[in-house]
Structure 1
Amino acid sequence: MKGAGKGGPSRPSRALLPAGLAMAVLAACGTQGALSQEVVDRARASGAAPDLIYAVDLDGYQIMEQSAGGVNEEGFGVLYAPVKGTGQPVELRVDRGAFDDDVCASTPVSGGDGRAAVRCERDGDGWYRTDGVRQDYTVVRGDHYVRLAAAVGQVGRQALREAATGARPAVGDGTPAPPPTAVTRGDLPTTGDGAPYDPVGPGG
């Protein structure tokens, strides 16, 4: 969804799994809401910007850790699978770009075939959209947007809205942690091999 401003075309995701494959790895799902450090590290290694790595809490769903990764140039995506039952995964996407009423109406619903008419509504802090089969809720956070998408009838509109608006950065405040600083030791000599200097007193 990179460059979604003013109807820009979406580019294929680099990380999210197809629904069929996703359902095949349900046994390896992670925790219900939080992202593990391993998932965060993998997402960053695949190109996701730290400030675009988000997590949501959605009752009855848990993270499919293998699906997490980079999307487009620096966005992030992950699937949430139903804890019980055989429903389709819910898709979380976060990407840099603008989103407004015009984009809302002109952009296909996430996961749809792109041909069905999109019904777009401004709803509280974000936008709710549906093509009758798929639905998504989008909320803007500064220079990027968070979108949560699901099949119609599988997740209630209110639950989708609450999860999307409650999305939270998974990497602290969204900035990389600074590298560790060296500890200064007073017993290291300025010359030689760097072994600690421990002078022997009288008598050994």
Structure 2
Amino acid sequence: MKGARKGVPARPARALLPAGLAVAVLAACGSQGALSQEVVDRARASGAAPDLIYAVELDGYRILEQSAGGVGDEGFGVLYAPEKGAGEPVELRVDRGSFDDDVCASTPVSGGDGRRAARCERDGDGWYRTDGVRQDYTVVRGDHYVRLAAAVGQVGREALRAAVTGARPAVGDGMPAPPPTVVPRGDLPTTGDGAPYNPVGPGG
């Protein structure tokens, strides 16, 4: 995916399949739920910002476990594969930056070779693009944008739109889980060296 800010060079992208970055299945039968803290930690370790880690629900597709990871400086990417039969993976990408009509018209369709002219359309809350072979749909969420791309004819336009407009942060408000709460011990004195105080009764 190309950089979205005008006048800002595109950031170098990392592969979507970083070695050793195995993630847990979100849920069975292609239904995606909230990512566990362990999965979020692994994605963050590969460079993804926590507020850019998203998940989508796309009927008939399941997450490719090793594909989740960082893209560019702090973006996030993951692939979804058909549960039955052959077909190309559907790609979810989330990147920091702006997206508008000009960017839509000047950026090649995700996964395309860039040699085919792309048609860009404003569609509801986002933008739909296709070059006749590949298609993607993009929505803006604050200071970042979410994009879902697939082969034409493999995923219907409305299904693509519904999935990406329904995309949600995998970690709630984008913040990591708080550290475990420390349970205070009642046998530790407030003065001295902190050794437990264990009084004994008569007879020791």
Fold shared per TM-score above 0.5: yes
- 1:134 is matched with 134
**Distance in 1, Cα, partners of 2:167 & 2:77:** 13
The alignment status of 1:191 with 2:192, answered yes or no, reads: yes
User: What is the DSSP-based 3-state SS (H/G/I as helix, E as strand, rest coil) of the residue aligned with 1:91?
Assistant: strand
User: What is the DSSP-based 3-state SS (H/G/I as helix, E as strand, rest coil) of the residue aligned with 1:120?
Assistant: strand
**Distance in 2, Cα, partners of 1:159 & 1:9:** 32
User: What is the DSSP-based 3-state SS (H/G/I as helix, E as strand, rest coil) of the residue aligned with 1:6?
Assistant: coil
1:85-164 aligned at under 5 Å gives the runs 85-164=85-164
In structure 2, the CA distance between the partners of 1:60 and 1:130, relative to structure 1 (3 Å rule), is same
Taking structure 2 as the reference length, what is the TM-score of the superposition? 0.87
**Distance in 2, Cα, partners of 1:2 & 1:199:** 69
- The superposition leaves residues 79-121 of structure 1 with CA deviations (integer Å, 9 ceiling, x where unpaired) of 0000001100000000100000000000011001112111000
Tell me how far 1:201 sits from its aligned partner.
1.7
In structure 2, the CA distance between the partners of 1:12 and 1:79, relative to structure 1 (3 Å rule), is farther
User: What is the DSSP-based 3-state SS (H/G/I as helix, E as strand, rest coil) of the residue aligned with 2:159?
Assistant: helix
**Distance in 2, Cα, partners of 1:14 & 1:29:** 22
Q: Which amino acid aligns with 1:55?
A: A
The alignment status of 1:175 with 2:179, answered yes or no, reads: no
Taking structure 1 as the reference length, what is the TM-score of the superposition? 0.87
**Distance in 2, Cα, partners of 1:177 & 1:90:** 29
| Structure 1 unpaired stretches of 5+ | 19-27
User: What is the DSSP-based 3-state SS (H/G/I as helix, E as strand, rest coil) of the residue aligned with 1:76?
Assistant: strand
For structure 1, which segment, 109-118 or 28-37, has the greater mean C-alpha deviation from structure 2 after superposition? 28-37
For structure 1, which segment, 154-163 or 166-175, has the greater mean C-alpha deviation from structure 2 after superposition? 166-175
Contact 1:4-1:103 at 8 Å conserved across structures: yes
Task: Supply the RMSD in Å over aligned alpha carbons.
Answer: 2.1
**Distance in 1, Cα, partners of 2:9 & 2:107:** 8
Give aligned pairs, total.
Answer: 194
**Distance in 2, Cα, partners of 1:15 & 1:203:** 71
